Amino acid sequence: MVHALVVEDEVGLAQSLEHGLHKHGFTVTTTHDGFSGYRIAKESELDLIVLDWMLPGMSGVEMCQRLRAEDVTVPILVLTAKDGTADETDALEAGADDFLRKPFSFSVLLARCDALLRRGRNSDGWSELIVGDLVLDPRRRVARRGHEQIELSRREAALLEYFMRSPGKTLSKEELLREVWGDPDARDTNVVEVYVGYLRKKLDTPFSLAANMFSTVRGKGYRLEAP
């Protein structure tokens, strides 16, 4: 059974998250301040931490930084009510694995948690992924083709990671939207097409046509494979 720690100072929201996760088979420990969250994270065997960014006592960013500095590798999903890309960057640089802005639907939070748990169960964890001459460092969000280093956004890196964990497999837009964006309802698949386009421009266009790694499978989705 998955053991999740919820650190959230809004008591009503914390109780709602605890109830929802428990209904989906999680064992949940809940606390409302950073100091107790940090202590529980250090003393308990956890599979996942859902962490509010603005906490009394010790902030979420400080708690995240301390845990990572002390080699606690439990996946951390950060929640914040603040608006702005700088907060997302700060969270990821502090060692968080994913970021969710309030308000959010519980189904999206659950999908994000499931994605982090799948990654944590993967035997290679955050180690480099290799398909042909393409190498991805998921933690640093940097790819390489040959000697060319390619910077990726968080979403680009997450999408490429999902492709590279299933090389040669045709992945539908609905699956990608559900697994990478955390949208189980798969409402707007156009965003997948846009981001696949971004990856193609960075990973295929600068190289020869014979070296293209992404292909479109008409009516089914996309596939990544070594040329």
Same-domain pairing of 11 and 75: yes
Same-domain pairing of 7 and 102: yes
Domain boundary at 102, 121, 140, which? 121
Same-domain pairing of 150 and 114: no
Same-domain pairing of 162 and 73: no
Q: pLDDT digit string (tens) for 49-58?
A: 999 998 998 9
pLDDT value, residue 197: 94
Closest among 139, 105, 109 to 124, alpha carbons compared: 139
Same-domain pairing of 157 and 48: no
pLDDT value, residue 123: 44
CATH number for 95: 3.40.50.2300
Same-domain pairing of 114 and 139: no
Same-domain pairing of 68 and 116: yes
Same-domain pairing of 114 and 29: yes
Q: How many domains does the chain have?
A: 2
Domain encompassing residue 185:
129-224
pTM, to two decimals: 0.63
Q: pLDDT digit string (tens) for 82-96?
A: 665 556 777 777 888
What's the token pair of residue 162? 């999902």
Strand partners, 134: 131, 145
Same-domain pairing of 143 and 189: yes
Q: pLDDT digit string (tens) for 181-209?
A: 776 565 677 889 999 999 999 999 988 87
CATH number for 151: 1.10.10.10
Closest among 174, 59, 161 to 111, alpha carbons compared: 174
Q: What is the pLDDT along the chain (227 residues), one digit of tens a residue?
A: 789 999 999 999 999 999 999 999 999 999 999 999 999 999 999 999 999 998 998 999 899 999 988 888 888 999 987 665 556 777 777 888 888 888 888 988 998 898 888 776 554 555 788 999 999 987 777 899 988 899 888 788 889 999 998 999 999 998 898 888 776 565 677 889 999 999 999 999 988 877 899 999 999 999 999 88
Question: Measured between alpha carbons, how far is 171 from 150 in angstroms, rounded to an integer?
Answer: 23
